[in-house]
């Protein structure tokens, strides 16, 4: 089982001591996290690591997920798209009703008793109506900088009822939100199977298993099959890179999350587009690409792409940088916080520029190495789980006061 002391060799004794001291103040407190899916996507990734770590600190941390049918997740994906800026989205009265009814049903099967309840993203947001006690935090992981107000308006009324709302970046905070707010950058766990060091033979074995040539340059994008992640854009960039570096290969990895009904459609689109291209590999969790394989591929990338049009934070960027891989990415959301242009990778405005920078890094491995190493330092200082748990502990203390 994970222990906070295990992180000392990475982040230092001081940081670990600080965490223990904070945890001591709220030992035994019950924290309940609720989100939409147990796997797939960044929220599940974070919770799967932060809950065991909190438990190891004697916090009674629990994680529950919503139950919903396809119609529910279709509605909530529309909400997600609307919050990220799709102005076309509208929901019918029946869709709103189904959303509220599903959450009401969940309120009867979830355990909502706790000192602090952390509700993640719009899917479980109306649970606040069934509050029986405790302090409630709404953690928003998506980019709400230019939301569709038809959808955001009614949801904001629910957000106002929480004790605190937490956003990944300052620019996501709605101007007229009256409740208390907090900024919390998402973090990755360096000890997780996805991020821990692995052997060279494991990397080579993974590449061989999927037919990727270990002796040629590999560029890659990891991310759900979703219009915002622009998987087709990554393929377009690869085509342009190949005009400059013929040996380049692209590995596109995406997963099918329970709460994402758009994945199948975008997977098909990516497959159809990739079929016309040479040296493009489209892989998913259904091909057996789990945490270890993602880790191996990310370590084999010469350059990681993140062509997202919108990005709440982009843990995939954090993961690549932690592995010393430079990232060529758009300026969307949290990417620009992680990719420091010219220092940990390159920020680009279009496909052509992405191809140019990627080719540059393929041609100059020494430059890629320098940027990758700066990227790892940047993540170590700012985006590791020890910072994440510290923020949760501080928030908890702020909400309930010191108990011990
Ligand atoms: N992920 C994965 N397999 C995939 C695609 C994504 O394990 O095929 C993981 C990825 O490694 C990262 C998370 O899902 O940990 C995605 O988080 P991110 O913040 O990048 O995006 P989100 O999906 O939350 O929008």
Return the structure tokens found at 70.
Answer: 């396809």
Tell me the CA–centroid distance for residue 316 and ligand 1, in Å: 6
- 66 falls within a domain: yes
Residues 167 and 221 placed together within one structural domain of the fold: no
Residues 378 and 390 placed together within one structural domain of the fold: no
Which of 403, 399, 393 lies closest to 20, judged by CA? Answer: 393
The number of residues in the chain equals 404
How many folded domains does the chain comprise? Answer: 2
Residues 144 and 273 placed together within one structural domain of the fold: no
Return the structure tokens found at 263.
Answer: 């994945």
Residues 218 and 366 placed together within one structural domain of the fold: yes
Residue 306 pLDDT? 98
How confident is residue 39, by pLDDT bands cut at 50, 70 and 90? confident
- 119 falls within a domain: yes
Residue 367 pLDDT? 98
Is the distance from CB of 331 to CB of 231 less than 8 angstroms? no
Residue 166 phi, psi (nearest 5): -115, 130
How confident is residue 158, by pLDDT bands cut at 50, 70 and 90? very high
Burial 210-246 (b: 16+ CB within 10 A, else e): bebeeeebbbbbbbbbbbbbbbbbbbbbbbbbbeebe
CATH number at residue 24: 3.40.50.2000
Is the distance from CB of 322 to CB of 191 less than 8 angstroms? no
Owning domain of residue 333: 200-382
List CB contacts of 256: < 8 A, sequence separation 6 or more.
40, 225, 263, 264, 267, 284, 285, 286
How confident is residue 141, by pLDDT bands cut at 50, 70 and 90? very high
pLDDT higher than 70, residue 404: no
Tell me the CA–centroid distance for residue 154 and ligand 1, in Å: 28
Q: What is the mean pLDDT of residues 339-348?
A: 98
Residues 355 and 333 placed together within one structural domain of the fold: yes
User: 387 vs 163, 185, 271, 321, CA distance in Å?
Assistant: 22, 9, 38, 17
Residue-wise pLDDT tens digits, 216-259: 999 999 999 989 999 999 999 999 999 999 999 999 999 887 78
Residues 62 and 162 placed together within one structural domain of the fold: yes
Tell me the CA–centroid distance for residue 39 and ligand 1, in Å: 9
Q: Which of 222, 318, 385 to mutate to test the pocket of ligand 1 (most atoms within 8 A of CB)?
A: 222
Residue 141 phi, psi (nearest 5): -100, 0
CA distance 145 to 171: 6
How confident is residue 175, by pLDDT bands cut at 50, 70 and 90? confident
CA distance 397 to 383: 21
Residue 93 burial (C-beta neighbours within 10 Å; 0-12, 13-18, 19+): exposed
Q: Where are the alpha helices (DSSP H) in 259-300?
A: 263-275, 291-300
**Which atom of ligand 1 lies nearest, measured to the CA of 316?**
20
Residue-wise pLDDT tens digits, 177-193: 999 999 999 999 999 99
Residues 250 and 292 placed together within one structural domain of the fold: yes
- 193 falls within a domain: no
Residue-wise pLDDT tens digits, 62-117: 999 999 999 999 999 999 999 999 999 999 999 999 999 999 999 999 999 999 99
Which of 80, 125, 118 lies closest to 100, judged by CA? Answer: 125
Residues 40 and 125 placed together within one structural domain of the fold: yes
Residue 312 DSSP class:
S
Mean pLDDT, the chain, integer: 96
CA distance 30 to 59: 6
pTM, full prediction: 0.95
Handedness of CA 377, 381, 382, 386 (dihedral sign): positive
**Which atom of ligand 1 lies nearest, measured to the CA of 311?**
25
Tell me the CA–centroid distance for residue 262 and ligand 1, in Å: 15
Residue 79 burial (C-beta neighbours within 10 Å; 0-12, 13-18, 19+): buried
Tell me the CA–centroid distance for residue 14 and ligand 1, in Å: 30
DSSP codes of every residue in 84-128: TT-TT----HHHHHHHHHHHHHHHHHS----SEEEEESSTTGGGG
Cross-strand bridge partners of residue 194: none
Residues 166 and 276 placed together within one structural domain of the fold: no
Residue 193 pLDDT? 97
**Which atom of ligand 1 lies nearest, measured to the CA of 229?**
25
Tell me the CA–centroid distance for residue 174 and ligand 1, in Å: 25
Residues 394 and 278 placed together within one structural domain of the fold: no
Residues 393 and 353 placed together within one structural domain of the fold: no
CA distance 254 to 227: 12
- 267 falls within a domain: yes
Residue 270 pLDDT? 95
Q: Which of 193, 255, 258, 295 to mutate to test the pocket of ligand 1 (most atoms within 8 A of CB)?
A: 255
Residue 40 pLDDT? 82
Return the structure tokens found at 386.
Answer: 């020890």
Residue 2 phi, psi (nearest 5): -65, 145
Is the distance from CB of 103 to CB of 127 less than 8 angstroms? yes
Pocket of ligand 1 from Cβ distances under 6 Å: 41-42, 45, 194, 222-224, 253-255, 285, 294, 312-316, 319
Tell me the CA–centroid distance for residue 224 and ligand 1, in Å: 6
- 192 falls within a domain: no
- 195 falls within a domain: no
E strands along 126-186, which residues?
135-140, 164-167, 180-183
- 118 falls within a domain: yes
Residue 111 pLDDT? 97
Return the structure tokens found at 1.
Answer: 């089982």
């Amino acid at each position: 089982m994970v222990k906070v002391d295990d992180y000392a060799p990475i982040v230092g004794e001081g940081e670990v001591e600080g965490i223990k001291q904070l945890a001591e103040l709220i030992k035994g407190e019950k924290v309940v996290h609720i989100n939409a899916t147990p796997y797939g996507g960044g929220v599940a990734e974070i919770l799967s690591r932060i809950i065991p770590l909190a438990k190891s600190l004697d916090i009674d941390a629990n994680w529950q997920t919503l139950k919903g049918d396809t119609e529910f997740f279709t509605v909530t994906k529309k909400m997600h798209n609307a919050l990220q800026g799709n102005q076309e989205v509208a929901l019918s009265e029946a869709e709103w009703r189904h959303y509220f009814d599903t959450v009401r049903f969940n309120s009867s099967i979830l355990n909502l008793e706790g000192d602090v309840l952390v509700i993640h993203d719009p899917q479980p947001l109306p649970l606040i109506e069934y509050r029986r006690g405790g302090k409630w935090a709404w953690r928003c992981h998506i980019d709400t900088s230019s939301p569709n107000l038809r959808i955001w308006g009614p949801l904001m009324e629910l957000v106002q009822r929480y004790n605190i709302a937490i956003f990944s970046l300052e620019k996501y905070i709605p101007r007229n939100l009256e409740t208390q707010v907090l900024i919390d950058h998402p973090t990755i766990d360096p000890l997780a199977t996805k991020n821990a060091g692995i052997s060279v033979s494991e990397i080579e074995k993974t590449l061989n298993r999927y037919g990727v040539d270990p002796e040629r340059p590999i560029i890659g994008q990891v991310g759900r099959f979703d219009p915002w992640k622009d998987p087709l854009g990554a393929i377009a960039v690869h085509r342009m890179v190949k005009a400059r570096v013929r040996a380049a290969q692209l590995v596109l990895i995406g997963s099918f999350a329970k709460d994402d009904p758009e994945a199948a459609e975008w997977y098909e689109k990516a497959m159809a587009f990739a079929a016309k291209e040479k040296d493009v590999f489209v892989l998913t969790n259904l091909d057996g690409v789990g945490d270890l394989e993602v880790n191996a591929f990310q370590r084999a990338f010469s350059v990681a792409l993140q062509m997202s049009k919108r990005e709440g934070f982009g843990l995939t960027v954090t993961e690549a940088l932690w592995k010393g891989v430079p990232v060529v990415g758009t300026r969307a959301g949290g990417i620009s916080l992680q990719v420091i242009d010219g220092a940990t990778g390159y920020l680009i405005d279009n496909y052509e520029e992405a191809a140019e920078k990627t080719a540059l890094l393929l041609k100059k491995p020494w430059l890629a190495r320098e940027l990758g190493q700066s990227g790892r330092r940047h993540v170590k200082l700012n985006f590791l789980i020890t910072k994440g748990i510290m923020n949760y502990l501080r928030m908890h203390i702020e909400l309930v006061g010191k108990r011990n």
